[in-house]
Copies of this chain bind each other. A is one copy, B any other.
Amino acid sequence: MDREIRAVHVGLGPMGLRVVQHVLAERKGIRYVGAVDVDPRLEGKDLGEIAGLASPAGVKVTGDASAVFEQTRPDIAIYTTVSPLKAFLPQTEVALRNGVNVISTCEELAFPSFVDADMTSRYDELCKLHGVSMLGTGINPGFLMDLRASLLSAACTDVQRIEITRRMDATPRRQPFQKKIGAGMDADEYRKAIESGAITGHVGLEMSICLIADALGWELEEVRVTGPEPVVAEKQVSSEYFTVARGQVKGTEQEAIGIVGGESKIRLSFSAFLGATPSFDEVVIVGTPEVRARVSPCWHGDYGTVAMSVNLIPAVINARPGLLTINDIVPVSFKAGNLGGFVAQGA
């Protein structure tokens, strides 16, 4: 019997509010029964009001996650809180112990065992103990630079190497994003901002490398990440907010490589800069057949992450218990080695 999915939202920062707006205004079949945030200023406010919607949601925000889960026993908790796994997982205990499935945009949750295998194992056990599933999802990591390539590889009889490029044009993006990628800075100034942590790069390339290797059955020896590095303008380029002179920084780039059997088998290249036209998301599979798959213009990341964290909810609810990755949900890819992924039943 199909019925409405009952959800609790945890974390009402910018990404959380985007998800809440989407669910409240545009989705059927899912209903919020609770909302949690640590900010005391939100306590008691209506979720629809916080999300800037015209009509109230009939759900009050609280800081008391435990009470919400105990009283509402939802099907799913949507967490949009923090990126680091070690800060994230303890937040979910209250959901898991109340038998609530968890979906989250936490980037490191996309492939948690790379970050902390012991902690991942403990939370996997906790999920199983309470019969619930937990998944980290999003557009990147979680889709553009991993799942999409793994799925394409399923129609290949051989895969030698995978190369993925995400090249974003920052020109139409909001001012804070352009600032974050260093637009208008001098290269030295940019490097200092990276060193000091004032500017941070894209989080998740390591997760994407791990997801691809795991899907294909490649044993990763090493994951190397370089950058963020400045992309310097060769000629003047400008946006609504910045004018970047020749020689100044127009954006940022990062690269990640996955080493398997001593070879660079997976290469991810991420860049975002002003004037990056055409922008694109490209997957190249060096194999049989050779595959060149390009989404252009590049996928809008914010829509993508909101979409994934809602569209995947039924799959998470129906999945086997455990701390899962997207490869558990989508077991379709080229299988190197021994057709990895087959576990003999009762063998």
Measured CB to CB, the residues of A under 8 A from B are 1-5, 22, 26-30, 75, 139, 143-144, 147-148, 151-158, 288-289, 291-297, 299-300, 303-304, 306-308, 310-315, 317-318, 326, 329-335, 337-345, 347
Contact = CB atoms under 8 A, between A and B. Distances in A.
A154 B311 contact: yes
Contacts of A153: 311
A2 to B, nearest CB: 6
Nearest to A304: B155
Contacts of A314: 331, 335, 339-342
Nearest to A142: B155
B158 A154 contact: no
B342 A157 contact: no
A142 to B, nearest CB: 9
Interface-central residue, A2, A312, A338, A339, by most chain B CB under 10 Å: A339
Nearest to A27: B339
Where chain A touches its partner, the secondary structure class is loop
A329 to B, nearest CB: 6
Given A311-B335, A329-B332, A299 B155 contact: yes
Question: Sorted from nearest, which 6 A-B pairs have the closest CB atoms?
Answer: A29-B338, A314-B342, A29-B339, A155-B304, A314-B341, A315-B331
A331 B304 contact: no
A326 B151 CA distance: 12
Contact of A312 (B5, B30, B300, B332): B332
Given A157-B307, A294-B294, A308-B155, A342 B317 contact: yes
Nearest to A296: B292
A75 to B, nearest CB: 8
Contacts of A341: 314-315, 318
Given A2-B340, A312-B332, A315-B341, 10 more contacts: A2-B342, A22-B157, A29-B339, A147-B151, A151-B330, A155-B303, A293-B293, A314-B340, A315-B331, A315-B332
